[in-house]
A and B are shown apart, each in its own frame.
Chain A
Amino acid sequence: MEIDPFIFRLSIFILSIFVGYYVVWSVTPSLHTPLMSVTNAISSVIIVGAIIAALASASENVFNSSSVFGYLAIVLASVNIFGGFLVTQRMLQMYKKKKDKK
């Protein structure tokens, strides 16, 4: 009997939880705020689903009930992508050794 592809995705999911567990424990506590903002930014990869909804469904009709939700989700996710990565970058810029200045 063939293995359901769902099982493969489930395996990826479970293994990623373990990867996440070990990677996050190794994050230094002083960078926990950037950790939250960057995890927030990467979770906006949900934009992939939004793009599919907006693009694929709209070959003849650009706006239909499904693609409109796609467009809305694109706006929300892109606020997050740009905002999340940029604010993380802004914070990380502050974490520098100031030895060279003196």
Chain B
Amino acid sequence: MISPNLSAIFYLISGILFILALRGLSSPDTSRQGNYFGITGMIIAILVTFLSIGNFSNSFAYILILLLAGGAIGAFIAFKIPMTAMPELVAGFHSLVGLAAVFVAIAAFLNPEVFNLGVAGNIKLASLIEMSIGAAVGAITFSGSIIAFLKLRGIMSGAPITFTGQHFLNLILGIGIFVLIFYLCKTQSENIFWTVIAISFLIGILLIIPIGGADMPVVISMLNSYSGWAAAGIGFTLENTALIITGALVGSSGAILSYIMCKAMNRSFFSVILGGFGADNSTSNTKDKKDQKPVKSGNAEDAAFLMKNASSVIIVPGYGMAVAQAQHALREMVDKLKKNDIKVTYAIHPVAGRMPGHMNVLLAEANVPYDEVFELEDINNDFANSDVAFVIGANDVTNPVAKTDPKSPIFGMPVLDVEKCKSVLFVKRSLSPGYAGIDNELFYRDNTLMLFADAKKMTEDIVKNLD
């Protein structure tokens, strides 16, 4: 058994190790070491908790069994999950953190003596506020993440679900939570505590259903942030430094990622939260254009010819590439091009995948070296000096309309300047519009050659033609 002071020091150490874990991610070289710091921090926190209680009775054995059972499930999922499914996985994991926070808060409420928070029915006021906030945020994280998971997994339609008075209802429920917590502090009533949790579950659902599929990167980041605040709330209740530090880190991390995603889509955070994007079909005027404007289309042979005679090629991958599982064929194509002394780089838009950095992971999985992959601001000036832009599975993020047409819903969104390339190869199955529901002006440009095919099939055909 170790003293509370000593264990507090150890919790601080594990908090610092968690900071170092995030710090390691500043470069791929140090990232693996960072992950080991994180694991060490977690082991220290768990060991110190066992030692500080010093109770190695029957329940200790149960805990070990449950820990290993949970760990086995987690490990199994971690090894089995395909990289395309990372967004669902992360959303699912957020829901677990949220629910765990709710359970810990309930345990603390039912048996406050264990946590030194007073006695049942007379819990310290500050602790009661902290645990109910922790439980409420945890519950919102849980149900919200479940909805996000179902939408990402395709079990639930990605289309926004809206109804009149939705925001008003959310507002009432939100205020209701605070009123109930106030009464909870006055009465210490168990029923009010359960009601707070139930309403929070409902808020989580209502908060995420109006948000459309295209905004999912923001939603995942936001739920990431919530799970952090929930952990911090519990950390205050348990007076545990490791939890408070971690909660603050995760909370601010998620918030920053939400901000980056919103900026990449040129949407304000509130318009994403209020939802409904992608539901309206006010694209009538673009439909007329479609009939008038001619489109140049080509085949794999043309594409191979163009690229073989280029000196620099920029690949612009999007989520469609991952759906078609074309990343491995793509790399094969790039290898062939490199053998012909053609400079090949990849340009990635921040919202190219379904979550922040998703496309980078997918390319890394296909063995694309990370130093050939560039972010939007780093590569956007290179398009003007390059011969060919190869757009595969991306659409809205290349649409020049975002720069020229103030009436367009995506106006102001930062886009990749692919049209500045000498020629643009655009792999797409049809001329259908992308997520944002708008026509891509790039299709009708003189320097654009449309390659109508499945991304994987087309890339394989190009590979054959490059020989």
Q: How far is the CA of A25 from the CA of B34 in the complex (A)?
A: 16
Contacts of B224 in A (CB 8 A): 36, 39-40
Contacts of A99 in B (CB 8 A): 369
Shortest C-beta distance, B49 to chain A (Å), equals 5
Q: How far is the CA of A46 from the CA of B101 in the complex (A)?
A: 7
Q: Which residue of B lies closest to A97 (CB)?
A: B369
User: Contact: B93 with A55, CB < 8 Å?
Assistant: no
User: Contact: A59 with B358, CB < 8 Å?
Assistant: no
Binds A, one of B231-239, B290-298, B433-441: B231-239
User: Contact: B67 with A74, CB < 8 Å?
Assistant: yes
- Count contacts on A: residues with CB < 8 A to the other chain: 84
* A12, CB-defined interface residue at 8 Å: yes
* B249, CB-defined interface residue at 8 Å: yes
User: Contact: A94 with B365, CB < 8 Å?
Assistant: yes
* B62, CB-defined interface residue at 8 Å: yes
Chain A, 75-96, CB within 8 A of any chain B CB: 75-96
* B324, CB-defined interface residue at 8 Å: no
* B281, CB-defined interface residue at 8 Å: no
User: Contact: B104 with A20, CB < 8 Å?
Assistant: no
User: Contact: A41 with B42, CB < 8 Å?
Assistant: yes
User: Contact: B256 with A24, CB < 8 Å?
Assistant: yes
User: Contact: A86 with B74, CB < 8 Å?
Assistant: yes
Contacts of A94 in B (CB 8 A): 361, 364-365, 367
User: Contact: A16 with B244, CB < 8 Å?
Assistant: yes
Q: Which of B26, B77, B100, B101 contacts A26 (CB 8 A)?
A: B26
Q: What 1/0 mask marks residues of chain A from 46 to 67 whose CB sits below 8 Å from any chain B CB?
A: 1111111111111100101111
Which residues of A pack against B, CB within 8 Å?
5-6, 9, 12-14, 16-17, 19-21, 23-59, 62, 64-67, 69-99
Chosen A-B contacts, 18 in total, with CB atoms closer than 8 Å, are A13-B244, A20-B250, A23-B249, A24-B257, A29-B260, A32-B356, A36-B90, A39-B249, A44-B100, A45-B243, A52-B53, A52-B238, A71-B62, A76-B100, A78-B66, A81-B71, A83-B93, A87-B81
Which residues of B pack against A, CB within 8 Å?
11, 14-15, 18-19, 21-23, 25-28, 31-32, 34-35, 38-39, 41-42, 45-46, 49-50, 53, 55, 57-60, 62-63, 66-75, 77-79, 81, 83, 86, 89-90, 93-94, 96-97, 99-101, 103-104, 106-108, 110-111, 114-115, 126, 220-221, 224, 227-228, 231-232, 234-254, 256-257, 260, 348, 350, 353, 355-358, 360-361, 364-365, 367, 369-371, 373, 375
